Amino acid sequence: MIKEKLGRVTAIIGAQWGDEGKGKLVDIVSSEYDIIARATGGANAGHTVYVKDPQTGETKKYVFHLLPSGALHEHTICVIGNGCVVHLPTLLEEIDVIQKSGLKTDGRILLSDRVHLLFDYHRVIDGLQEASKGDKKVGTTNRGIGPCYMDKASRKGIRACDFLKQDVFEAKLREVSGGLMKQYGFEYDVEKEIAYYRTIRDRIVPMIKDTFVYLHEALESGKSIVFEGANGVMLDLDHGTYPYVTSSNPMVGGLGTGTGIPNSHLTSLTGIMKAYVTRVGAGPFPTELLDETGNMLREKGGEYGATTGRPRRCGWFDSVVAKYSARMNGYTGINLTKLDVMTGLKTVKIGVAYKYEGKTLDSFPADLDMLEKSTVEYIEMLGWDEDISGATKLEELPQNARNYVKKLEELIGTPITFIGVGQRRDQMIVKK
Helix residue spans in 304-398 (DSSP H): 319-329, 368-372
In the complex, the smallest distance separating the C-beta of residue 46 from ligand IMO, rounded to whole angstroms, is 4
Distance between CA atoms of residues 222 and 275, nearest Å: 35
Residues that bind ligand IMO (CB under 6 A): 14, 18-19, 44-47, 138-141, 143, 145-146, 230-232, 235, 246-247, 280-281, 306
Choose which of 19, 113, 162, 303 interacts with Mg ion (CB under 5 A): 19
Please enumerate in sequence order all residues whose Cβ is within 8 A of that of 131, keeping only pairs 6 or more positions apart, or say none.
none
What are the residues whose beta carbons fall under 8 Å from the beta carbon of 313, sequence distance 6 or more? 278, 279, 280, 285, 288, 294
Contact 334, 415 (CB under 8 A): yes
38: left (phi over 0), alpha (psi -120 to 50) or beta: beta
By CB under 6 A, is residue 422 in contact with ligand GDP? yes
- Binding span for Mg ion by CB under 5 A among 25-33, 54-62, 236-244, 298-306: 298-306
Out of 10, 11, 12, 22, the residue judged to bind ligand GDP by CB under 6 A:
22
Q: Tell me if 254 contacts ligand GDP by CB under 6 A.
A: no
- Identify which range of 109-117, 185-193, 375-383, 418-426 contacts ligand GDP by CB under 6 A: 418-426
Q: Provide the minimum distance between the beta carbon of 40 and ligand IMO in the complex, in angstroms, as a whole number.
A: 9
User: Which of residues 17 and 364 has its CB atom nearest to ligand GDP in the complex?
Assistant: 17
Stretch that binds ligand GDP, among 31-39, 45-53, 141-149, 248-256 (CB under 6 A): 45-53
Of 27, 34, 47, 65, the active-site residue reads 47
d(CA 11, CA 158): 28
Is 47 considered catalytic here?
A: yes
Give CA–CA dist 258/250, Å, rounded. Answer: 10
Q: Which of residues 298-357 bind ligand GDP (CB under 6 A)?
A: 302, 306, 337-338, 340-341
Please say which residue, 228 or 318, places its beta carbon nearer to Mg ion: 228
**Rounded Cα distance, 66 and 145, in Å:** 12
**Residue 21's binding partner out of ligand GDP, Mg ion, ligand IMO, none, with CB under 5 to 8 Å set by partner kind:** ligand GDP
Among 138, 190, 306, 345, binds Mg ion (CB under 5 A): 306
**Residue 15: C-alpha distances to residues 58, 72, 87, 334, 413 (Å):** 31, 24, 25, 9, 14
Among 77, 72, 70, 23, which Cα is nearest to 219's?
77
Check residue 25 for interaction with Mg ion (CB under 5 A): no
Q: How far lies 198's CA from each of 75, 194, 349, in Å?
A: 30, 6, 55
Residue closer to ligand IMO by CB (options 204, 255) is 255
The residues, ordered by sequence, that sit 6+ positions from 337 with a Cβ below 8 Å of its Cβ are 20, 21, 24, 25, 272, 273, 274, 275, 419, 420
- Alpha-carbon distance 337 to 350, whole Å? 15
CB of 14 to ligand GDP, least distance (A): 5
**Residues 22, 28, 29, 31, Cα dihedral to 10°:** 140
Q: Are 338 and 275 in contact (CB under 8 A)?
A: yes
Shortest distance, position 23 Cβ to ligand GDP, whole Å? 3
Of the pair 297, 401, the CB lying nearest ligand IMO is at 297
Q: Which does 143 bind (CB under 5 to 8 A by kind): ligand IMO, Mg ion, ligand GDP, none?
A: ligand IMO
Size of the site for ligand GDP (CB under 6 A): 22
94 binds ligand GDP (CB under 6 A): no
Q: Among 46-54, 162-170, 186-194, 372-380, which window interacts with Mg ion (CB under 5 A)?
A: 46-54
Cβ 230 to Mg ion, closest distance in Å?
8
| Alpha-carbon torsion (278, 380, 403, 234), positive or negative | negative
Whether 122 is catalytic is no
Q: Does 46 bind Mg ion (CB under 5 A)?
A: yes
Nearer to ligand GDP, 160 or 280 (CB): 280
Distance (Å, whole) CA 188 – CA 120:
9
Residues belonging to the active site: 19, 47
Residues that bind ligand GDP (CB under 6 A): 14, 18-24, 46-48, 50, 302, 306, 337-338, 340-341, 420-423
